[in-house]
Structure 1
Amino acid sequence: MPKVTYVAIDGSRTTIDAVAGDSVMSTAVRNGVPGIVGECGGNMSCATCHVYVDEEFTVRVGPPGDLEDATLDLGVSDRRATSRLSCQISMSEELDGLIVATPEEQP
């Protein structure tokens, strides 16, 4: 079972066993991780699941697709090179140990 670690703005960490195939967002919402809202349910229309992927994992996670990229451009105030919508990151054994940080505030 792959693990994902969520790092809050205060530096606190929450590590959760994720189900392979589930998104990083759904794993967070199901487990009450603060800082990830997932208001649109993973439809890439709200950006309330914005995270910063740890640089160690950016190549494995891959870049955002066109729609995700546009949503990040329009909906995120502090976009970085490692910004992703967590609803678009599907957990897998390859991503075991994934670390994502939540922004100071979501849209």
Structure 2
Amino acid sequence: MPTLLFEQPDGSRSTLDVPEGTSVMQAAVAHGIVAECGGSAMCATCHVYTDPADADRLLPVSDDEDEMLDCTVAPRLDGSWLSCQVVVTGELDSLVVRLGRSNDEHHGHRRRRPGRSPGRGFPPAGGLPGPRGDRR
């Protein structure tokens, strides 16, 4: 069974054994992710960060996920994913998943202004460095 390491915004970490076929969102609900749409890629409240170096271990972002990542409460950065769209496989064993601010901490979503590009880098507080490159 793959193990995921969840890192909270305050830097605290939890390790969780996750059955293959489970979405990261389903596994992480107990660790602070709010998932208002129940895993349908409709609300972006389950936005998480991974080490950009792990991008090759994850499937590419779908068009729907890409659009929703522009609507997240926390900034979109390299390593941004919707956890409802990441299905756990053996390939993801030992993946570090950083939780951003959840929608219950901020009311409503903020949209990026037109013409503004997504952020680059990784969240600063205890973040995992390294550019992933653009997935588009």
State the TM-score, normalizing by the size of structure 1: 0.89
Residue in 1 that maps onto 2:99: 102
Residue deviations 1:38-84, cap 9 Å, x none?
11110001111100012332211133110000011133440001100
2:88 corresponds to 1:91: yes
Residue in 1 that maps onto 2:75: 78
Higher Rg: 2
CA distance in 2, matches of 1:50, 1:43: 13
Identity %: 45
Residue in 2 that maps onto 1:55: 52
Residue in 2 that maps onto 1:33: 31
One-letter amino acid matched to 2:87: S
The question of whether the paired residues in 1 share the 8 Å contact of 2:47 and 2:72 is answered with no
CA RMSD of aligned residues (A): 1.4
Matched residue pairs, number?
104
The question of whether the paired residues in 1 share the 8 Å contact of 2:74 and 2:101 is answered with no
CA distance in 1, matches of 2:74, 2:17: 30
Structure 2 counterpart SS, 1:75: coil
Q: RCO greater where, 1 or 2, for CA within 8 Å and sep 6 or more? A: 1
CA distance in 2, matches of 1:77, 1:19: 28
Residue in 2 that maps onto 1:18: 18
List 4+ stretches of structure 1 deviating above 2 A.
74-77, 104-107
- Give structure 2 stretches of 5+ with no counterpart: 104-108, 110-136
Q: Shift of the alpha carbon at 1:98?
A: 0.8
User: Is the deviation greater in 16-25 or in 77-86?
Assistant: 77-86
One-letter amino acid matched to 2:7: V
Structure 1 counterpart SS, 2:57: helix
CA distance in 1, matches of 2:31, 2:71: 24
State the TM-score, normalizing by the size of structure 2: 0.71
